[in-house]
Amino acid sequence: MTEAATHPIRVLLADDETMIRHGVRLILRHAEGIEVVAEAPDGRQAVDLAAAHHPDVVLLDIRMPVRDGLAAIAPLLALDPAPRVVMLTTFGDEENVVRALREGAAGFLLKDEGPQELIRAVRAAAAGDAVLSPGVTGAVIGRMLRGADPDPADGSGEDARIARLTAREREVLAMLGEGLSNQDIAVRLGIGTGTVKTHVGAILDKTGTASRVQAALLAHRTGLAG
């Protein structure tokens, strides 16, 4: 029996648009191993409901009344256990997405993504992957680069950090820069997802990056990802 069958991924959905919540709930309701445990129309209720229902993943709209999604990230991540927070966004909102990533969000998903992309994002977030919607990843990375994101590593140069990686790890790092999930990388390289996770862990360790998002930034700064 799979883990998903014994422990469904618990999702909390926070969006002030009723139709968005309804549509996402319908999609996730029919996804195996995923359960929507609560819905909230604003960030304050999202935090309260998360404390009560202990979701694994929170799908969080950025723009909401009472408390917006950005203000809800820190209190959500302060919960024990802390959920994985994925921001729901639209084209043109890259500045707020960058702020969300800096606050600790696991990634972002465009509201008009298809059903399979939504389901894949929830599963990826629950598995510890960063969720970076390919449609806007380039723009978000560009904003973070222009914002002079501080180098999280020690004083060694970025080229030296890349040189520590094996050829396969450099391939995986380039794909992180594209915003691909572990599953997508595994399919492209023809390897198992467990092997991808091992490579990602080695990349973070060898490059001194604290997250997949920081690793993606490194891939862009060093030219591994276009």
Tell me the C-alpha distance between 138 and 180, whole Å.
12
Rounded Cα–Cα distance for residues 10 and 8 (Å):
6
* Assigned token pair, 12: 């909390």
pLDDT (tens digit per residue) in 161-216: 888 999 999 999 999 888 777 888 999 999 998 899 899 999 989 998 867 777 88
**Angle, CA 81 vertex, CA 17 and CA 141 arms, to 5°:** 60
Distance between CA atoms of residues 186 and 172, nearest Å: 9
Q: Is it true that 3-144 and 154-221 share their CATH fold?
A: no
| Residue 11: other Cβ atoms inside 10 A | 27
Taking alpha carbons only, the member of 103, 116, 226 closest to residue 181 is: 116
Instruction: Please give the radius of gyration of the chain, using alpha carbons only, rounded to the nearest integer.
Output: 17
pTM above 0.85, yes or no: no
Which phi and psi (to 5°) does residue 89 adopt?
Answer: -140, 180
Per-residue pLDDT of the chain (226 residues; tens, 9 = 90+): 334 446 899 999 999 999 999 999 999 998 999 999 999 999 999 999 999 999 999 999 998 988 999 999 999 999 999 999 999 887 667 778 888 888 888 888 888 888 988 998 899 889 887 777 766 666 677 777 666 444 444 444 777 888 899 999 999 999 988 877 788 899 999 999 889 989 999 998 999 886 777 788 788 888 887 6
- The dotted CATH code for 154-221 is 1.10.10.10
Q: How far apart are CA 51 and CA 218, in angstroms?
A: 35
Domain coordinates in residue numbering, the chain: 3-144, 154-221
At the fourth CATH level, the homologous superfamily of domain 3-144 is: Response regulator (3.40.50.2300)
